[in-house]
């Protein structure tokens, strides 16, 4: 017999500025993307003895009792239940996501966050963002070894985050909403490879690369000030400068350069690659009225998918249906 349905969601994320330099101790900023979502729906059934976890997009269905510890969905469930001090309910937990996989948009962290929130709704509890973020980080470690902590923080807080390696990530509120057009290349970003290449280049010419990282740090600091002031032309100009430095570091690609140029010609305030580079996404900062024009230009320049999203300090959502 159907007992109750609990559903919760979590946004994707995107790095705004500072990728790669962040590996060398410089700051980076990342923001939630509410246009794409992971959703977890828990159907509790009286008398059911196991909890089935269904990844509907992947066509996978696993019983919690027999899922191995390396199964990230089962691990998110187990860690959440431990936090809530509850035994697993019987029934089905189904997970669905519109966040592109392996695109640097935090799909794994968003799925874990949605699972945590759906189970908390069932237990009649709210998991504080800091605890949810720590829990999601533990799940992320299964895939990534030593994740930076950006994804879980941005997604669990649903807020922009200022991030410096080795320091606790700092969520911060943004007073003015702004709009991004995100253009996916459809090519998974080979982050491990680009991070390795940057390391080789840095070892070969540390002075030049330390200089590039310092320049990026200056742009990221200026970017935060522009964001807080709502100065979009300034923030856009900083995006273009950050892109130039990423290209100098060797992590751009012809498709990324083409998308950035298309956004510029279509009237974006600024554009840059986001994340590891060579694939993944380009972000363009736009006036809302220009979003469709820029999106069309990006499609014509070869974008495989486009998301138009406002960036604001959105609240976490968890609802009992
Ligand atoms: O594409 P993402 O979101 O996984 O970002 C990679 C960011 C890098 O700075 C290139 C690597 C890192 O670990 O910070």
11 lines ligand 1 (CB under 6 A): no
Residue with tokens 């080795």: 166
Mean pLDDT across 220-234: 97
Angstrom distance (rounded) from CA 191 to CA 155: 20
Give, for 28, the enclosing helix (H) or strand (E): strand 28-45
DSSP class of 12 = E
State the CB neighbour count (10 A cutoff) for residue 95: 24
Angstrom distance (rounded) from CA 233 to CA 64: 50
- The DSSP line for 204-225 is H-HHHHHHHHHHHHHHHHHHHH
As to burial, measured by CB atoms within 10 angstroms (0-12 exposed, 13-18 middle, 19+ buried), residue 87 is exposed
pLDDT tier, 3 (very low <50, low <70, confident <90, very high otherwise): confident
Whether the pTM exceeds 0.85: the reply is: yes
Q: Which of 154, 187, 195, 250 to mutate to test the pocket of ligand 1 (most atoms within 8 A of CB)?
A: 195
C-alpha of residue 23 to centroid of ligand 1, in Å: 8
Tokens matching residue 293:
């024009």
Atom of ligand 1 at shortest range from CA of 105: 3
164 lines ligand 1 (CB under 6 A): no
Q: How far is CA 164 from the centre of its chain?
A: 16
Residue 116 reports pLDDT greater than 70: yes
184 lines ligand 1 (CB under 6 A): no
**Digit-coded pLDDT (tens) for 39-87:** 999 999 988 999 999 998 888 999 999 999 999 999 999 999 999 999 9
DSSP class of 100 = P
> Which residues are CB-contacts of 229 (< 8 A; sequence separation ≥ 6)?
none
Residue 321 reports pLDDT greater than 50: no
Mean pLDDT across 116-139: 96
276 lines ligand 1 (CB under 6 A): yes
Q: Are strands 170-171 and 28-45 parallel, antiparallel or unpaired?
A: unpaired
Mean pLDDT across 82-97: 97
- Average pLDDT in the chain: 92
Atom of ligand 1 at shortest range from CA of 30: 3
Among protein residues, the one whose CA lies closest to atom 3 of ligand 1: 104
19 lines ligand 1 (CB under 6 A): yes
Residue 212 reports pLDDT greater than 80: yes
- Residue 313 confidence (pLDDT): 61
Mean pLDDT across 102-114: 91
22 lines ligand 1 (CB under 6 A): yes
**Digit-coded pLDDT (tens) for 134-179:** 999 999 988 777 778 899 999 999 989 999 988 988 988 889 999 9
Atom of ligand 1 at shortest range from CA of 274: 1
Among protein residues, the one whose CA lies closest to atom 5 of ligand 1: 275
Tokens matching residue 93:
């937990």
Mean pLDDT across 304-315: 80
Q: Are 11 and 180 in contact (CB under 8 A)?
A: no
Tokens matching residue 4:
């109750």
Angstrom distance (rounded) from CA 149 to CA 164: 10
- Residue 35 confidence (pLDDT): 87
Least confident of 115-124, 184-193, 214-223, 294-303: 184-193
Q: Are strands 318-320 and 161-163 parallel, antiparallel or unpaired?
A: unpaired
C-alpha of residue 3 to centroid of ligand 1, in Å: 42
- What percent of the chain lies above the pLDDT cut of 90? 81
**Digit-coded pLDDT (tens) for 250-284:** 999 999 999 999 999 999 999 999 999 999 999 99
- Residue 2 confidence (pLDDT): 63
Atom of ligand 1 at shortest range from CA of 13: 3
C-alpha of residue 289 to centroid of ligand 1, in Å: 30
C-alpha of residue 185 to centroid of ligand 1, in Å: 16
Angstrom distance (rounded) from CA 170 to CA 37: 22
Q: Which of 26, 276, 281 to mutate to test the pocket of ligand 1 (most atoms within 8 A of CB)?
A: 276
Residue whose C-alpha is closest to residue 113's, from 144, 140, 89: 140
In order of 4, 32, 170, 181, 301, the CA distances from 272 in angstroms are 45, 17, 23, 11, 14
- Residue 318 confidence (pLDDT): 28
């Amino acid at each position: 017999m159907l007992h109750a349905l609990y559903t919760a969601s979590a946004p994707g994320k995107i790095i705004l500025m500072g990728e790669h330099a962040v590996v060398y101790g410089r700051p980076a900023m990342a923001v939630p993307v509410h246009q794409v979502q992971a959703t977890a729906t828990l159907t509790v059934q009286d008398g059911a003895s196991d909890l089935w976890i269904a990844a509907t997009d992947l066509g996978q269905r696993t019983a919690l009792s027999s899922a191995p510890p390396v199964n990230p969905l089962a691990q998110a469930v187990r860690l959440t239940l431990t936090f809530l001090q509850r035994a697993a309910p019987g029934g089905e937990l189904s997970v669905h996501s519109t966040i592109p996989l392996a695109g640097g948009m935090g799909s794994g962290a968003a799925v874990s966050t949605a699972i945590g929130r759906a189970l908390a709704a069932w237990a009649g509890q709210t998991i504080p963002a800091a605890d949810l973020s720590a829990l999601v980080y533990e799940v992320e470690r299964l895939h990534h070894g030593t994740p930076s902590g950006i994804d879980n923080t941005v997604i669990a807080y649903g807020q922009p985050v200022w991030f410096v390696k080795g320091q606790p990530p700092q969520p911060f509120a943004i007073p003015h909403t702004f709009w991004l057009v995100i253009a996916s290349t459809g090519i998974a970003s080979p982050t491990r490879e680009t991070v390795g290449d940057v390391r080789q280049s840095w070892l070969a010419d540390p002075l030049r690369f330390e200089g590039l990282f310092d320049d990026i740090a200056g742009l990221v600091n200026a970017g935060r000030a522009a964001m807080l002031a709502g100065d979009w032309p300034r923030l856009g100009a900083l995006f273009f400068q950050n892109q130039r430095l990423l290209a100098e570091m060797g992590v751009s690609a012809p498709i990324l350069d083409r998308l950035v140029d298309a956004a510029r010609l279509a009237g974006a305030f600024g554009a840059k690659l986001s994340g590891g580079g060579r694939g993944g996404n380009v972000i363009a900062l736009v006036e809302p009225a220009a979003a469709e024009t820029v999106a069309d230009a990006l499609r014509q320049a070869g974008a495989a998918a486009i998301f138009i999203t406002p960036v604001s300090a959105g609240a976490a959502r968890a609802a009992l249906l």
